Structure 1
Amino acid sequence: MTQPLVPTGRRPANDGPKAAARNREALIAAAREIFASQGLYAPLSSIARRAGVGQGVLYRHFPDRDSVAIAVLEENVRQVEEAAAAEGALLADVLGVLTWHLTDSAAFLGLLHSNGAAGHAATLAHARVLSARVEAALRRTLPARHRLGGGDDLMIAVGMVSGATSGPARESRERRAAAAWRLLGVEVGPVRPFGGRHPTAERG
């Protein structure tokens, strides 16, 4: 697609840190799409192509596959935190955002678990930090005497739902996640990214 012309002196091509930030954002968005559709072990070159940058740019931002996955997971957590901090936020709505990201990230969440088993302590430690941030965000909207309010019940339930989100198609992963929450007796709001609409709604 042809890029619109911009006046001389305002071209974005050589604006240093701004270009680097745009490239990183594009790479994270591309990684989310590629991992969701092709799985964790899709070629990293596919991510670079989807982002519209060279593979060297990808490696300058993300030296390995783990670092790409963690960057996407960090963005997931940030959205969950923003959903929990929104005015009038309800637990069901925040769980809907969390469920969106669980199903979107199902292709590579397993990497973090397998890395821990294989002795990749740094990656596992990072995953634990992100998990703690998710728990803190959820507890911000957890009603008193909620069925998941005791002990570790909240994050055990999240882990159970995450474990249920298997399958090659996003639609099947969402159905399985919804079934898991239903079996746990937990109400979940619309499954969609924070501030966005479900993609199927755009096609309806």
Structure 2
Amino acid sequence: MPQTPKANRGPSAGPANRLALIAAAREVFGDGGYAAPLSAVAKRAGVGQGSLYRHFPDRISLAVAVFDENIGDLERVASLPDSTLDDLLQEVIDQALVSKALIDLIVAGADDERVAHLGTRVLAVVDTMVTRERSAGRVRADLTADDVMLAISMLAGVLTWTPGATRPDTAARAWSLLRRSFAPAPAPSPAP
């Protein structure tokens, strides 16, 4: 028995379709990486490919929309007055555990201005957290946001090639090593 096609709801479906596409892309990119087929995104969202391309004319624009939301989550963590660098890094790890697509996107679109703003936003969040942590004495006085960005890149890189089942343990071990390197130096022992 042939299936009846869905009724076209016209322009009123636009906002819901866009949200469905972003949610579907998060899952598809999470499973298959940045190079996952866009047809799988449209199918998972329950829309046609024409709708996908009306909202997102290319792969980068779709991936940027997904990761704009991820970075929004990081910004929310940083906006909490009691949040720490551990809280921020845990959010980064949680995101990296489910998707290596952000790293793939940043590498693939390094020269694309739509991608550049992602790094700028993440750097601003990290800078806020590092400044807070230095003021509280929880990290070395010479730790910079660039140091933490390098650590995040190293951690994300390791997680991209780590098998899925071992990613949480690897992430925890890596962050433990990084945390120790960020810690303030112990006070010198008094002379005997």
Same fold (TM over 0.5): yes
1:64 equivalenced with 2:58 (yes/no):
yes
**Overall identity of the aligned pairs, in %:** 38
Q: Could you give the per-residue CA deviations for residues 101-120 of structure 1, whole angstroms, max 9, x where no partner exists?
A: 1233313422322332xxx3
In structure 2, do the counterparts of structure 1 residues 21 and 64 end up closer, same or farther at CA, with 3 Å as the change threshold? same
1:30 equivalenced with 2:24 (yes/no):
yes
Alignment of 1:81-96 (within 5 A): 81-86=75-80, 88-96=82-90
In the alignment, structure 1 segments of 5+ residues that lack a partner are 1-12, 188-204
Residue 127 of structure 1 corresponds to which residue in structure 2? 118
In the alignment, structure 2 segments of 5+ residues that lack a partner are 1-8, 182-192
Q: Could you give the per-residue CA deviations for residues 36-80 of structure 1, whole angstroms, max 9, x where no partner exists?
A: 112222210110111111111111111111111111111110001
| CA radius of gyration, larger in | 2
- Report the RMSD for the aligned CA atoms in angstroms: 2.6
Structure 1 residue 168, shift from structure 2 partner? 6.9
Q: Secondary structure at the match of 1:176?
A: helix
Alignment of 1:15-164 (within 5 A): 16=12, 19-86=13-80, 88-116=82-110, 120-139=111-130, 141-144=132-135, 145=137, 146-147=139-140, 150-151=143-144, 152-164=146-158
In structure 2, do the counterparts of structure 1 residues 29 and 147 end up closer, same or farther at CA, with 3 Å as the change threshold? farther
In structure 1, give the amino acid aligned to 2:143: G
In structure 2, do the counterparts of structure 1 residues 75 and 124 end up closer, same or farther at CA, with 3 Å as the change threshold? closer
CA distance in 2, matches of 1:34, 1:127: 20
* TM-score normalized with structure 2 length: 0.75
Structure having greater relative contact order (Cα 8 Å, sep ≥ 6): 1
CA distance in 1, matches of 2:107, 2:141: 23
What is the count of residue pairs matched by the alignment? 170
| Structure with the higher helix share, 1 or 2 | 2
CA distance in 2, matches of 1:60, 1:148: 49
